[in-house]
Structure 1
Amino acid sequence: MLLLTVLGATLGVAFGVAATCALAFLCRRLKKLRRLFKIPENKCLESTAKERNILHTAQQFRVKKTMEPVQPRNWLTSPKIYGPKPVITLLEFINCTDYTLERMDERLSARGEEANISSLMVDSSEDLFVISKSAPTDAVSLSDDAESEISEDWKEDVKLHYGIHYNRYKSELYLTIIEAQNINMVENMNHPDSYVVAALITKLGKAKAETSIQTKTLHPIWQDTLTFPVLEEHVQEGTLTLAVYSCDKYSRQDCVGEAQLKLSSLAVGERTDSWISLTAPVKDSSHGEILLSISYLPAANRLIVVVMKAQHLNTDKLKDPLDVSIKLTLMHQSLKLKRKHTRHVKHKINPVWNEMIMFECPYEMLCKSSLELELLNQDCTGQNHLLGKCSLGMNYSDSELNHWQEMLTKPRKQIAMWHKLHE
């Protein structure tokens, strides 16, 4: 009996728990169903409320309908103007002295003619005039010589402002470079860096000095004083040469203008200053110029040469079209160590390569080595013709030497410079 009692109690508890769970599940389902049914009901209620509001607001206003056409008022009126402007550049209007200005309506009223004013109504706010010609004139045209003379007059020379004084007690000639104007004659240099080089030539020799560099200006102001030691007996027979140079970021130097002064014609004993016009330098027979960038990596013993571009190539004597390439030769004294070529660039006067070439060379040999560059043009038969060449190394001068020395003193740095090509 006890066992049955326990079993009955257990079953009762189980049925109670199951019934509770079933009721809870049904309640949750009913809540979900109510939520689902509440949304459309709310929407319907909102829509009906809106309709009621709309109907209610529509009942507040009274709309009066009418079928009468509405005519807009013409507030804008076109101004009364005159005929079109004459073209002053016509031949019949050139060099006319007897012209009178009159309005179109005055001309029509003088002739007694009625003009259709409506045809002359155009949107404009200025009075236009016609020119009545009272005397016949002939058209004048400028000849080519006159045009060339006018264009030459517009060309301004480079002018240099300087001061000069000789100190007899110290036996020194002082040259003060003050300023310069019109430094805009160098091609591809809009705002160049400029400086002045002065040279005093006497029987004893040649002394040379230069000013500081003024950057990115067409009107440089230096206020630099250059000192030349010279005896008084050699002053009157001396010649002073002044030259203005421009340079860019690749150390390309171009002479803008130069002039020579005879000290015998100057009052060097007094402090004087004056302006002088510089003449354009005589262009040398250059075969163009090339832009190179070189660097040396000591850890890898590598010489890196970047052939960038060339310009102003002398192609007057060429019969074949351009097909240019660069041949680079690394030499140690008179021995050729390595030779390499760049790619070919066709039909371009200013070719661009931007090609990198590497040579292996120890640093000990680099001081006695040199780099030779040849610009070659290939004809239709495959033969190469030399257009120009240049060499970099310690055995050369000017920019070719400076470029090589700067590479040795600044390892692992790319240094780019322009070099002129020669035969």
Structure 2
Amino acid sequence: MVTLTGFPAPLEPISAAWELRMTLSEIVKYLVLAVSISLLLLALGILAWQIIRCCSHTHTRYTQRETVNNDLMFSEEKSSAAENYSGAPSTKTVTANAEAFRLSRYFSLASYPSSASSQSDGETGEKVTSRKVDGSLRFSVFYDQQQTQLVVTVLQAEGLFQDRPTRSLHPFVKIRLMFAESTVNMEEFNCDEREATPPVLWTVLQEWRTRVVKGSCSPLFGDQFTCILQEEEDLLRHISLRMEVRDYDKFSRHTVLGEVRVPLERLHSAYPLELQEALQTPQKDLVGKLLLSLKFLPTSQRLEVGLLKIRTVLTQSHSNEALYARVTVQSNQSKLPYQKTSAVPRCSLTVFNKVLIFSLPEFPVEQCKVLVYVYESHTSKKSSKRLIGQLIVGKERSSEDEHWSLMMRSVRQPVAKWHSLLI
């Protein structure tokens, strides 16, 4: 006979095991919850730290920008009060915005500079030293009258000044063979600017560049360049060599350390003449006049830049060349995408008649610069181009270009004005 009195006994270990399992699952659950809460608190702490850091960094940048702007305004007032001061400029290092302000202010004040009164280089991104020029350049020049061939040999640069001990110099020499037009008819420009002495209008016949010597303040070059000149008796009187010693930069922002100018009319020897000249302060040359039109549309916040015509010196070497212009607009510290014109065959008066439209990002416009770069290209070589000159027109915080003022007084109406093209 089977009895069922002992049947419930096996249920007791099962219930104990189930309770133990429930206890372990709750413990794991609470551990996971605690870890999640800890991670959440840690993430909130990191987020708060990043917000505080971002706010303090933004405040610091704003304070530095205001300080730089105040310094620039003070330096401009000081320069206007001491206009005839000829001492060496300051060597204080400022930000890139301050350097751009200084260059734009200089270009806006430049008017008809000759080879003896102009400043710095005109290439994109290149900088000019703001210190006393040191060093000398040794070179050799020879003009073969029988073959009408000019031979220029760059030998050595000595005593170059290194203003930053943390970075070594990488010097090279850029050579331009400049031709000067004897007379410039300013009435062709139909502008209001007049001078007692007509300016000299230059053009670049040839352009060379030596190799880069890395890490040397007295580099040895030994590079030789040749050029065949036209057979004219008084040709050498209008040609000069412009040799600039530059510090190489991999971003093409080469620093001009100094320059040497040699008129070829000094060369009367039948043998190579070796010279050593001290480096002088870099200067700019007038290479043409550009008729520029500006038109501002405040409702649509657009700026229309019209490139009408350009006057340059035309030689026989420029017969198969074309000109085109590239325009860049910088408004309130923001740089707009550049636009360029189509290539036009070069002549003494090259006509573009091209209008480029730029949409300004912010209003009101506190700072705006219109940068025009004119390039020369060969019709047979599509890849080759050479900068022949540039100009800058615009408005700054404490100064305003005359052309810009005329444009703002004639809103929605184009205003045309001749500008000096410099290099």
TM-score bracket, normalised by the shorter chain, equals: 0.3 to 0.5
Larger CA Rg, structure 1 vs 2:
1
Q: Which has the higher contact order (CA 8 A, sep 6+)?
A: 2
TM-score by length of 2: 0.33
